[in-house]
Amino acid sequence: MTFVVKPKIHHPQLPLNELGLTRRDYEGAVSTLCAGCGHDSVSAAIVQACAELSLPPHRFAKISGIGCSSKTPSYFLNKSHGFNSVHGRMPSVATGANLANRDLVCVGVSGDGDSASIGLGQFAHIVRRRINMLYLVDNNGTYGLTKGQFSATNDKGSTSKKGAPNLYEPIDLISMALQIGASFVARSFSGDRGQLVPLIKAGLRHHGMAFIDVISPCVAFNNHEGSTKSYEFIREHGQNVIETDYVASHAEITADYEEGSRENVDMPDGSVLQLYKVDADYDPHDRVGALNYVQRRQQEGEVVTGLLYVDPDATDCHEILGTVQRPLSELEEVDLCPGNDALQSINASLR
Amino acid sequence: MKVTYNDFVIRFANVNGSGSASANGMFAKALFRMGVPTATRNIFPSNIQGLPTWFEVRLNENGYLGRREGVDIMVAMNAETIVEDIASVVPGGYLLYDNTKPLAKTLVREDINEIGIPIAALMLPEFSDPKQRSLFKNITYLGALAGLLNIEFDVITGMVATQYKGKDALIAPNIRALEVGRDYALKYLDGPLPLQVRRSDAVGDRIMIEGNAAAALGSLYGGATVCAWYPITPSTSVAEAFEKYGNQLRVDADTGEKKFAYLQAEDELSAIGVVIGAAWNGARAFTATSGPGLSLMSEFLGLAYFAEIPAVLWDIQRSGPSTGMPTRTQQGDLVSAAYASHGDTRHPLLFPATPKECFEFGADSLDLADRLQTPIIVLSDLELGMNDSLSEPLVWDDARKYDRGKVLDAKALDELDVFGRYLDVDGDGIGYRTLPGTHPEKGAFFTRGTSRDEFARYTESPDAYERNMERLLVKWDTAKKLVPAAEVHATDKRVGVIFYGTTALPMPEAMDRLSEEGITLDTCRIRAFPFGEEIIDFVNNHELVFVVEQNRDAQMRTLLINEGDFDPSKFVAILYFGGLSISADTIQQQISDYYKENKLPRLTEVSS
């Protein structure tokens, strides 16, 4: 494998964001994944979302586990540090990274093997802890790097490339996230950039745990007839329950949707999340309702996508722990060391 | 009557959860406050309530604080263990028991002194509440011991007043129970006994503290801001003490916000992951665990070794393997800690022997982790971690600065032409790292556990992989000069003895006793791994070296042979692994036996 450096020449007509940067400033190394891999579309969506939000490209902490999905943080935001850690353990590393420096935007990328099998415990507990981060799962229902074994999100009855059916019940990370306390839960499809980019933008701006399950077909091992995570299957069975648009605080709201189906959600930083309900009965602020809706549709063979739940007033782990506003990583001796006088008082109390 | 002062071992046999810990703790503290060097050992079951538990107190004017075999006074308050408890008393020793029910004839020993006190009967007229009667039994025997051993009564009543401050209603009945016991001892028994306590100044300005609390304080003073952990005996109190002291000493006075993050993780895998994530992102972070946790953390330790991320792990060792004896002490994790994880890995280890050293290593380990950019494992044990031990007072040098190691800030990056995360610029095997978010254009790199070149670029080049692994050995050599040096006392003797951690406690007593037999040894207390020059020299300079440790497989001996490439026959293993702490008697006997069996010359023989 070689390391390919992309040429740094920008097309003169690439639009500049508020920082005077183009989308190219948010890119990473050339992907080594298969041509057509859904994961590359997710990386591209992250690049677009970060560029459009005008976030400083070096102020991210990118964390991943192990697997195809977990390679992707080197394919976006190469001005930020990334950490390709241990299989299934991205959540703990991300927790530490976020505890150390709350000012960096924490993006965790994981896969279905990484988060639903070996890392299911860590997934559940980081959601409980409400780490302020964007947690993306590139969900393809298969183990790509080890050549096509079923993963735990693979639907029962879905077949492998060779035709063997999956015999076990699937784990639905969306339902789990809803149940355990994620304050932003969405599902999308790597092939639907129009839906995915606004969701990522909203997730990045969300204060608290933002979880997005992205169905991302594996062209090598899980894109055949009989697979329920193929491009074709998702295009046929995907059901967008709520369309999302993310509007920065000062931008004019221009989208034109039928009155009554539109809802503006004010985000803590002053920006606005615009929701357009496709199903008028759906309430994205009702955690239990969302859970029921997702499961019922799933029973009917539909894959519900869009923003499924959001709590704009959510708290994060730092608020739960009551930590200082300054990043812990920036505290120095004067902040941290109580000094010898205090120690002598402790000695005295131990006599 | 010949009276022996300030030199005995007393053991309390109780039922777990019966409230005895508080009374026993006060007993030990009273002796300490009378200025007598005191060592405590809590021998407890993995149980909340109902199983047998023992509390042993040794006082010794010479300051021998290690365990000594034989019980001089047994306070037998547990019917279930009374047979073995009576058997453990030395001939001429004392058995204190509740004779409300008389002792079975089969249990009577002619060679020890029985002291029967009708504790249950004494409680009846004093306390109407059955629960109180049961709880105050402990306080009553404490009062009786004050009378029998001549402990200053004011010292004990003073402690009762402090302990129940704010719950004043409890003070009077506690003091009453103490008086009932003491009065009975003075009125009906031949108190005080020939074993007595008297005020001394041998404690000096020393303090009584658990090693785990000292470790937490050291971590706090050393600037740890993230503590992630999972409950496991005997390490839990490290994390809990960190939180306690953090809440006292690390809270912003204006906002009430905490300058530390304290996180109980879902398991040990997560705890070490949080530590590594935090350290990667620039915070000083540590975890505390025991053997089973160390096993679970091994994969992450390999990643941190290879990716070169600082981390501090306190392993408060207990008896293994598996769950082993979770509430008993051992030095059984040396090999698994030294080489934790897959592939070629080696981790620096620190071996604290006293609470003061726990404090110092708490801070030093954070400096070392940052300097060496690698996990540092501190191997304490239950004996040191969970027992109140006499310790020199803790001291912090206010001029001390944290050593954050080689970290490039934005200015340094601006001045740099080429940045390679894994370039060995200084020849010490340690590259320069950058923290996330430092610079808009320079210094970002991708951390990975897979092979990469000097510029952190992914590669599977065999040469690049080997270059990197060789550089890590250069770093290992650098570590030898940075870790705490061994304490060596050598005067050209032909035989030496190596020990470490809590094995140091009974060592002075064992050495003194051996010296009386004409066996004198040079000593080397190892304080860290990898081994510095002074340790290699010590082994080379002696014909024979005893290695004293608390595990079955002579793990330090293994490390010495493996790392020093020494002839194994040079080392004689002196081992104890029964779960109590190693005693002076064990060390003396095994070394003495070796001398006998191998007809080694003794001082007296040489000179005659």
- Which contiguous run of DSSP H or E holds residue B508? helix B507-516
How far is the alpha carbon of B361 from chain A, nearest alpha carbon, in Å? 15
Domain at B4-196: CATH architecture = 3-Layer(aba) Sandwich (3.40)
Domain ranges of chain B: 4-196, 208-391, 407-481, 487-607
Calpha distance A270→A316 (Å, rounded): 18
Q: Are A80 and B458 a contacting pair at CB < 8 A?
A: no
Calpha distance A44→A61 (Å, rounded): 17
Chain A residues within 8 A of B265 when measuring between CB atoms = 92, 125
Q: For chain B, list residues with pLDDT below 70.
A: 604-608
Per-residue tokens: B193: 């006994």
Per-residue tokens: A156: 């029962």
Chain A residues within 8 A of B256 when measuring between CB atoms = 322
Give the Cβ contact number of residue B451 at 10 Å.
Answer: 18
Q: Which residues have CB under 8 Å from B589's CB, separation 6+? A: none
Does residue A257 register a pLDDT over 80? no
Which of these, B219, B528, B212, B501, lies nearest to B366 by C-alpha position?
A: B219
* pLDDT score, position B46: 85
- Which contiguous run of DSSP H or E holds residue B499? strand B495-500
* pLDDT score, position A5: 60
Q: Are B259 and A323 a contacting pair at CB < 8 A?
A: yes
Q: Which of B269, B437, B447 sits opposite A101 (nearest CB)?
A: B437
Which amino acid is residue A324, in one-letter code?
V
Q: Which of A85, A89, A329 sits opposite B283 (nearest CB)?
A: A329
Q: Are A345 and B394 spatial neighbours (Cβ–Cβ below 8 Å)?
A: no
CATH class of B208-391: alpha beta
Structure confidence at residue A260 as a pLDDT band (50, 70, 90): low
Inter-chain Cβ pairs, chain A and chain B, closer than 8 A:
233
Calpha distance B32→B60 (Å, rounded): 11
Q: Which of A81, A82, A86 sits opposite B300 (nearest CB)?
A: A86
* pLDDT score, position B307: 98
Does B208-391 match B487-607 in CATH topology? yes
- Predicted complex ipTM: 0.95
Per-residue tokens: A269: 């930083």
A324 lies within 8 A of chain B by CB: yes
B17 lies within 8 A of chain A by CB: no
Q: Are B446 and A84 a contacting pair at CB < 8 A?
A: yes
Calpha distance B116→B513 (Å, rounded): 35
pTM value > 0.90? yes
Chain B residues within 8 A of A73 when measuring between CB atoms = 446
Calpha distance B479→B338 (Å, rounded): 13
Calpha distance A178→A124 (Å, rounded): 10
Does residue A2 register a pLDDT over 80? no
Q: Which residue of chain B is at minimal alpha-carbon distance from A78?
A: B444
How far is the alpha carbon of B227 from chain A, nearest alpha carbon, in Å? 10
Which of these, A146, A46, A136, lies nearest to A91 by C-alpha position?
A: A136
Domain ranges of chain A: 23-334
Per-residue tokens: A194: 């129009």
Q: Which of A79, A124, A336 sits opposite B223 (nearest CB)?
A: A336
Which of these, B270, B260, B215, B212, lies nearest to B236 by C-alpha position?
A: B212
A211 lies within 8 A of chain B by CB: no
- Could you give phi then psi for residue B263, rounded to 5 degrees? -130, 115
Classify residue B68 as left (phi > 0), alpha (psi -120 to 50) or beta. Answer: beta
* Among A93, A133, A323, the residue to mutate for chain B (most B Cβ within 10 A): A93
- CATH number for the region B487-607 comes to 3.40.50.920
Q: Which residues have CB under 8 Å from B384's CB, separation 6+? A: B211, B352, B353, B354, B355, B358, B501, B502
* pLDDT score, position B107: 93
Fold of domain A23-334: Rossmann fold (3.40.50)
Calpha distance B606→A243 (Å, rounded): 94
Summarised one tens digit per residue, pLDDT across range A37-94 is 999 999 999 999 999 999 999 999 999 999 999 999 999 999 999 999 999 999 999 9
Per-residue tokens: A113: 């093997």
Which of these, B496, B560, B551, B498, lies nearest to B530 by C-alpha position?
A: B560
Q: Are A39 and A69 spatial neighbours (Cβ–Cβ below 8 Å)?
A: yes
Classify residue B562 as left (phi > 0), alpha (psi -120 to 50) or beta. Answer: alpha
Summarised one tens digit per residue, pLDDT across range B364-417 is 999 999 999 999 999 999 999 999 999 999 999 999 999 999 999 999 999 999
Q: Kindly calculate the radius of gyration of chain A based on its CA atoms and give it in whole angstroms.
A: 21
| Window A:72-131, CB contacts with B under 8 Å | 73-74, 78-86, 89, 91-101, 103-104, 121-122, 124-125, 129
Percent of chain A scored above 90 by pLDDT?
75
Q: Are A338 and B250 a contacting pair at CB < 8 A?
A: yes
Q: Distance between the two ends of chain A, CA-based, in angstroms?
A: 64
Summarised one tens digit per residue, pLDDT across range B531-590 is 999 999 999 999 999 999 999 999 999 999 999 999 999 999 999 999 999 999 999 999
Q: Are A350 and B258 a contacting pair at CB < 8 A?
A: no
Which of these, A181, A179, A186, A178, lies nearest to A265 by C-alpha position?
A: A186
Q: Distance between the two ends of chain B, CA-based, in angstroms?
A: 40
* pLDDT score, position A95: 98
Which of these, B104, B134, B109, lies nearest to B122 by C-alpha position?
A: B134
Q: Which residues have CB under 8 Å from A56's CB, separation 6+? A: A19, B440
Calpha distance B34→B197 (Å, rounded): 8
Q: How many residues does chain B have?
A: 608
Q: Are B441 and A79 a contacting pair at CB < 8 A?
A: yes
A24 lies within 8 A of chain B by CB: no
Calpha distance B262→B229 (Å, rounded): 8
Does residue A208 register a pLDDT over 90? yes
Calpha distance B362→A343 (Å, rounded): 14
B254 lies within 8 A of chain A by CB: no
Which of these, A283, A239, A246, lies nearest to A261 by C-alpha position?
A: A283
Q: Are B175 and B154 spatial neighbours (Cβ–Cβ below 8 Å)?
A: no
DSSP B501: G
Calpha distance B436→A94 (Å, rounded): 13
